[in-house]
């Protein structure tokens, strides 16, 4: 019985170490401190094409959007994948055919809005797209 307890403890310890290592080397590279960023919101069908400049100390994009929620009229919904962006500027995406695509400096975001680190000088663009 003692061997089982030791083996289980060792497996749990290895799993925690692997998770820590993954987050250190492959997780988003987020940095604290004051940053100046641009947020663009584009919804062609509604004639929405807005650009905002923000000074923030937010570490992740989701936190920034919640800070400025009233200004950009940001809406999100929880999903099994984490928070999903569903609305800006009073327009809520039709979940059956539309979504807000995230671009960072013109490149597709590789993670969801909650895991996008806020980096000084970056431009975050939200485009309503069809699927």
Rounded distance between C-alpha atoms, residue 110 and residue 87, angstroms: 20
* pTM of model > 0.95: no
Based on the domain organization, do 9 and 50 belong to the same domain?
no
Residues 24 and 41 in one domain: no
Q: Does residue 61 sit in the same domain as residue 109? A: yes
**For residue 4, what pLDDT is reported?**
78
Segment 24-63, tens digit of pLDDT: 555 555 667 799 999 999 999 999 999 999 999 999 999 9
- Tell whether the model's pLDDT for residue 22 goes beyond 60: no
88 and 124 in a single domain? The answer is yes
18 and 66 fall within a common domain = no
Domain shared by 75 and 118, yes or no: yes
Average of pLDDT values for 108-121? 95
pLDDT at residue number 33: 79
Assign 3-state DSSP to the chain and report helix, strand, coil percentages, each to 5: 30, 40, 30
Domain count along the chain: 2
Tens digit of each residue's pLDDT (9 = 90 or more) over 56-114: 999 999 999 999 999 999 999 999 989 999 999 999 999 999 999 999 999 999 999 99
Domain check: are 86 and 126 in the same one? yes
Beta strands in the chain (DSSP E): 35-43, 48-56, 75-79, 82-88, 91-92, 98-104, 107-108, 123-130
Q: Containing domain of residue 50, as a range? A: 35-130
Residues 26, 74 within the same domain: no
Q: Are 83 and 117 found together in one domain? A: yes
């Amino acid at each position: 019985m003692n061997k089982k307890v030791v083996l289980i403890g060792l497996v749990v310890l290895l799993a925690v170490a692997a998770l820590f290592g993954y987050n250190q080397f492959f997780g988003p590279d987020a940095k604290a401190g004051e940053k100046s960023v641009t947020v663009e919101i584009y919804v062609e069908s509604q004639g929405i094409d807005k650009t905002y400049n923000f000074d923030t100390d937010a570490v992740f994009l989701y936190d920034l959007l919640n800070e400025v929620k009233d200004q950009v009229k940001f809406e999100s919904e929880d999903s099994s994948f984490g928070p999903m962006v569903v609305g800006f500027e009073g327009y809520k995406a039709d979940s059956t055919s539309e979504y807000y695509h995230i671009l960072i400096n013109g490149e597709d975001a590789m993670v969801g809005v909650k895991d996008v680190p806020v980096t000084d000088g970056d431009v975050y663009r939200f485009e309503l797209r069809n699927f």
